[in-house]
Structure 1
Amino acid sequence: MKSPLISATIITIGVSACVTAASNEEISSKAAAMLKSSFKANGQATLDRLDQDATQHLCSEFAGKAPPRDVAQKIEALNLATVKYPTDGNLLGDWKNGEKIAQEGRGKQFSDDPAGPVGGNCYACHQLSPQELSYGTIGPSLYQFGKLRGYGPETQRYAYGKIYNPDAYAACSNMPRFGHNGILSEQQIKDVTALLMDPASPVNR
């Protein structure tokens, strides 16, 4: 039989746990409300950008650390199902246009003309063409991407899918979901894929 002291201790711990959980939920709710109240719609940058989809919600739960493998697999499967490949079966466009898209950093910002050019800004995170000396290192180097991995259909499909929705291959990736979020068009993704996969592209020379 439990003593009154032990029973009281168990009850206290249980109540404290409930209070802590409630407090954490309350804090998260207040923080989200404060975040939303600090933004205002400006041009094409509307407040719906603050709304999280299932992937973003899951990744936010593990911000700053890798999600558990089962969660990562769930995220990757969820996003792989969203990848839409060209109906014509052709995954490669014009690598010259792909280079322009990789260099272009404008698009989707409040200060950008919605009718103006939209780029991928790929060089902000990756090395691609050796002629470009200014590039970021958040992402891996993509120099000689096709040359090192092969130019076959499987690699082409992977490259296209990775650009379309990187979370399909690496859960909670820092890379934008260019196709999934409608940042780049199908043709633009084809062109960037060609930049990576065309043997004539400077990326593979």
Structure 2
Amino acid sequence: MQFKTTHLFAAAAAVSAATLLAGCASAPDAAEFDKQASAMMKASFRDNGIAKVDRLQQDLSNAECSKAGAGSPPEAVAKAIEAANLKLVKWPSDGKFLGDWKNGEKLAQSGRGMTWSDKTTDPKDNGGNCYNCHQISKSEISYGTIGPSLYQYGKLRGVSDPASAAAKPIVEYTWGKLWNSRAYNACSQMPRAGHNGVLDEQQIRDIMALLLDPKSPVNQ
């Protein structure tokens, strides 16, 4: 009986292995899985208020970064993404980079906007949600750590006069980073606030002031 049972289990194991191998041989390829995932996403979401299904559509930058997964795209692709996004940065129309740091702090604290329950896509109704990922001012103890600390952002970079020629590279870099983060980091997780219309020019100026104005509590 033991001999028969052993052979029975062995035969069953062989059949299971053969079935598994056959299944592996006919498994969908990556392109098919992508197609199935895309179909599932489209079937799972619908327009609701100002939140439209078109938010699921990826531009080339997002598509390439998704393709790379947890890794990084090839260097040539990464450089192409950064170059393309740098061209999309809209510089301040009046040449003024800094606004009011007090308004910038309010924007950094606010995570409002862009949800299905909001009535408008006007950036004036949105916040920057900066504290969600960064430490900024010393007085705020509730902040995320996905991004680097921005406490003393301007001070640590030697910005004593944001309007000076010496500060120009940091000022322009910071504006570009806020407007379109992928201009400097191909697969940055930081929202492209200006490029995607989450914040307008004046709001970007105010956050710039929060980070770079020597009078801002960030730089004390």
TM-score (structure 1 length as normaliser): 0.87
1:92-111 matches, cutoff 5 A: 92-111=98-117
CA distance in 2: counterparts of 1:76 and 1:20, whole angstroms:
39
* Structure 2 residue 162 is matched with structure 1 residue 162: no
Partner of residue 133, structure 2: 125
State the distance in 2 between where 1:165 and 1:150 align.
23
d(CA) in 2 for partners of 1:27, 1:119: 36
- Flag as ranges the 4+ runs of structure 1 deviating above 4 A: 19-22
Specify the SS of the correspondent of 1:82.
Answer: coil
Displacement, 1:137? 0.2
Q: Which of the numbers 170, 181, 186 marks the counterpart of 2:201?
A: 186
Match of 1:16 in 2: none
Larger CA deviation: 143-152 vs 130-139: 143-152
Asked whether 1:91 is paired with 2:106, we answer: no
Which residue identity does 1:80 align to in structure 2?
L
d(CA) in 1 for partners of 2:219, 2:82: 28
Structure 2 residue 39 is the aligned partner of structure 1 residue 33: yes
Deviation at 1:22, TM superposition (A): 7.1
What are the superposed Cα offsets for residues 80-123 of structure 1, whole Å, 9 maximum, x if unpaired? Answer: 01001012111001111000000001000112332672001000
Question: Which residue of structure 1 lines up, in the alignment, with residue 145 of structure 2?
Answer: 137
Question: What residue identity is the alignment partner of 1:131?
Answer: S
Using a 3 Å threshold, how does the CA distance of structure 1 residues 146 and 21 change in structure 2: closer, same or farther?
A: farther
Which residue type is aligned with residue 176 of structure 2? G
CA contact (8 A) 1:120 1:184 kept: yes
Partner residue, 2:48: 42
1:72 — aligned with what?
78
Give 1:149's aligned residue: 157
| Cα distance change of structure 1 residues 113 and 55 upon mapping to structure 2, 3 Å threshold | same
Task: Tell me the C-alpha RMSD between the 2 structures.
Answer: 1.6
User: Between the two proteins, what is the percent identity of the paired residues?
Assistant: 56
Give the Cα separation in 1 of the matches to 2:102 and 2:57.
35
Deviation at 1:36, TM superposition (A): 1.0
* Structure 1 position 64, deviation (Å): 1.1
Gaps of 5+ in 1: 1-18
Structure 1 residues 128-173: Cα deviation after superposition (integer angstroms, max 9, x where no partner): 0000000000000000000011221211111111000000011110
Q: Distance in 2 between matches of 1:21 and 1:70?
A: 32
Larger Rg: 1 or 2? 2
Amino acid at match of 1:137: T
How far, CA to CA, are the matches of 1:119 and 1:169 in structure 2? 23
CA contact (8 A) 1:107 1:113 kept: no
- 5+ long unaligned stretches in structure 2: 1-24, 160-166
TM-score by length of 2: 0.81
Task: Indicate conservation of the 8 Å contact 1:44/1:109, yes or no.
Answer: yes
Q: How many residues align?
A: 187
Structure 1 pair 50–148 and aligned structure 2 pair: CA distance change class (3 A): same
Give 1:196's aligned residue: 211
